[in-house]
Structure 1
């Protein structure tokens, strides 16, 4: 059933759905509180960013040491403590703790906190519940509004059937797992909103004049998606390829926007860590310092044997105190020089050891990210086949937790039925990015095959939401023309909304399927 000229605009229904979604999130943020009742921070993941935000405004630094042992209302509670942190030498030459998250997003949110604290005269560290909720609302509700408005506007432009439009508008507002993530500080909601903005600008460009400023905005959004979700860089590149094929006038503005975000991303990373790589990428051995002579007994070198090559490399003095400490890897030791510098001592062959600069920022005393300390899904899935099955149709399944996404592959396969070449190329790009990112996560090392940690879904692909909804437009219109098709579509949406609703108390918990299967004894939590 096609929409005829003169019919009433569907934006009345769109507005109602969007207002309801934003109201639900606003209500949840108004009462959001930690399990222990002392902050508005729901897990180690968002606490990591909150620590950076507070440290920047209250102390002018990215160092989060003062917050990790901060006590709450209960004497034995550390409400700011987090496992998502790294440790490395700071500009003062001493070892400090930092958030493991890229610093660009927390730096931007720190700007919001600065405005709030100047207006309200309160510090987040003193009022982590009240002020945390205020900042969370100011950040997440507008971001969610951008995602909803941009996605629905893009779908409205390419669809003709009124019922199908309403169906996908409802799916956008309530059918994805982005609503639960809207009540906690995270990178997934901004990434999805940014991707929705690029999608909308691309779709509208074929019906309305689009200036360089619009393409610059698209570049900012595309670059910001990649800054929040590194694998989304694939789609950022595919957008550039699309513009090269169908809108060459967009390339300059789009590239300039991406460049601005790239500069901001690397600049904040350098200011925070004196490194261009994000902190979570520092998990291995640094540059080699020296190779030590093989030990006859196969034992690692002693501290005096290690001291000489360190002196030769100007890393120690003859009177320096050197100690060898265990590392999170069995084939490596931490060499601590005094109380401020450490290097690595790694076994590269039987009896053969190398000294190298320290570059494993996750290796520190009391680190959670060592063998024997990680728990649950953080241990990692040994089988790539099982991992792929669970992330698609299993306990963290894209399709099992959100049946609505079953329309996505159908829409991608049926891309050839679209009339516009530009839309067909866009669907092909979405398909390619989906495959690239899916394969990327399956091929990750075992320690990284953890489904995104304790989370209500496979959160690393949430930024695809606007693109997958766009992919579902074709199948939705086909189903809308058939009574049984509408019933099927409503059933898929109902199941997706029900699955989403199980997580409205917070995104940092295991999916309901994972919990149910654990109850049945099918898996070990």
Structure 2
């Protein structure tokens, strides 16, 4: 066996060891995951929202989650209740609760639960601790393995050093917050896993011959590129801002092979059909639930009086053909200022918006699914980080180097900007294009979150990191590979890399109890009184 082949075989053994350890570590945590109250395996409102959909689909055959969010146990507690839900009119004409999360991934998880339910006779509503653990083992462990395996072998193709490749594999398995999120049902793990798969497919199709030669393009079968389209689109289905990377992947694939764009597009269309189809099945509309957060189209206007002009409103709605003559209506304040809710006796909802300047009120179709009695998202009910950060500059600082910081919580990402800059002028053109696309997507997504309205500038809510950028992990790790190669040639720089990894692993280990807690930096600064 040649020396380089011997090293590669040893690395392969090391990779398998890392994968074994991270899989066993995660499996152990999943098998012991329990809510704070000890009555479910749900860790936050975020994952409870998805679990409600999964259980309701299998046990009740509907996306309506009323039974679960209203269920009270013997301690008079609602263990399934979640703030991440919306309410709108269902097919029966009544108002029902639904998860606010895109239904595609929970629907797929429900398929796993359906098998467990029918084969083993297990019911999640009766065993809310052990059944979710079983499903997490069947869903999250394969996804974590896919993320780790695809990232490691992408770096194996891009990198060149033995020590640096081993170091990168260690970062993949133990240095990113995805390991902590693998113990909970969430959208970030599947997004990262399928991003990793797309990266692997890209470099598999454009294998590097050596450090100086260009990528060697091989003709790949139709289903190979169709799988790539599925991977890139499924990432976007779980992380909406990843749409920009889906477009960039299309450009990268086209530059590799013009023939590949057809199967790639077909794979992406397949996911798009599943995404919008499941959304329509859940909500009878193609628009996702989080897009229903305002006022609908204007219907008409009435005079603004000290009391609500009930008769005028009834007449306007009747003339527009929206209600039948004689339909009674009830008007009450909503959760937003200067807006009232108009509800008919058949549970239709409309909005009444008061304009003090023009002394008129306009009637709109109701389109705020987050406004319902007791909603956490109404004015005055939100608290903590969910209030939103007023300053965009402060938001940018905190999401990068502050108490929710990408770089402060996982210092290994300090290598990412260096890799993105250096990679633009290094390596074959297909690698440089990949780095450029990753850099563009990173900037676009960061700007997307910074420029969001104040209510959305909440750092991802109560979570152990700025979780909305977790799907970039395989992209950044692959782009960092050449920088790791350079640093590994010097002993002092190796120690620096190990220090960055050590700090990152600390953050991961802190969140292994639950990723749905404030970052350790946030908690420590709160203890010091630096955060009010």
With the length of structure 1 as denominator, give the TM-score of the two structures: 0.97
Name the Cα RMSD after superposition. Answer: 1.3
Question: Given the alignment, which residue of 265, 268, 274 partners 1:264?
Answer: 274
CA contact (8 A) 1:64 1:98 kept: yes
Whole-angstrom CA distance in 1 between matches of 2:192 and 2:294? 31
Please name the residue that 2:230 is paired with: 220
Measure how far apart 1:209 and its partner are: 4.6
Equivalent-residue separation in structure 2 for 1:36 and 1:366 (angstroms): 22
Corresponding residue number in structure 1 for 2:16: 15
The residue that corresponds to 2:215 in the other structure is none
Which whole-Å deviations, capped at 9, do the CAs of 1:244-265 have from their partners, x for residues lacking one?
2232222111111000000000
Residue correspondence of structure 1 range 1-150 to structure 2 within 5 A:
4=4, 6-9=6-9, 10-72=11-73, 74-150=74-150
1:380-399 → structure 2 map (5 Å cutoff): 380-399=388-407
Secondary structure of the residue that 1:76 maps to in structure 2?
A: coil
Query: Which sits farther off after the overlay, 210-219 or 452-461?
Result: 210-219
Matches within 5 A, 1:436-455: 436-455=444-463
1:269 and 1:517 map into 2 onto residues whose CA distance is 41
Counterpart CA distance in 2 for 1:214 and 1:165 is 26
Q: Is the 8 A contact 1:285 1:344 kept in 2?
A: yes
Q: Secondary structure at the match of 1:426?
A: helix
What residue in structure 2 maps to residue 337 of structure 1?
344
- 2:376 aligns to what? 368
Q: Does structure 1 conserve the Cα–Cα contact (< 8 Å) formed by 2:22 and 2:173? A: yes
Runs of 4+ in 1 over 6 A off after TM superposition: none
Report the CA distance between 1:326 and its aligned residue. Answer: 1.1
Cα distance in 2 for partners of 1:441, 1:352 equals 35
CA distance in 2, matches of 1:340, 1:352: 25
Q: Using the alignment, how far apart are the partners of 2:360 and 2:416 within structure 1?
A: 53
Say if 2:424 and 2:436, in contact at 8 Å, map to a contact too: no
Q: Which runs of 5+ in 2 are unaligned?
A: 208-217
Equivalent residue of 1:55, what SS? helix
Once the two structures are TM-superposed, the CA of residue 281 in structure 1 deviates from its matched residue by: 1.1
Correspondence 1:402 to 2:403: no
- Alignment of 1:309 with 2:303, yes or no, is no
Whether the 8 Å CA contact 1:407–1:471 is kept in 2: the answer is no
Partner of 1:245: 255
- 8 Å CA contact 2:188–2:467 kept in 1: the answer is yes
TM-superposed CA distance for 1:449, in Å, is 0.2
Name the counterpart of 2:333: 326
Partner Cα separation in structure 1 for residue 181 and residue 516 of structure 2: 9
The 10-residue stretch of structure 1 (438-447 or 207-216) with the greater mean CA deviation from structure 2: 207-216
C-alpha spacing 1:339/1:366, structure 2 compared with 1 (3 Å)? farther
TM-score, normalization: structure 2?
A: 0.95
- Work out whether 1:501 is the aligned partner of 2:529: no
Residue number in structure 2 paired with 1:423: 431
Indicate conservation of the 8 Å contact 1:300/1:351, yes or no.
no
2:486 aligned with 1:485: no
What residue ranges of structure 1 are gaps of 5+ in the alignment? none
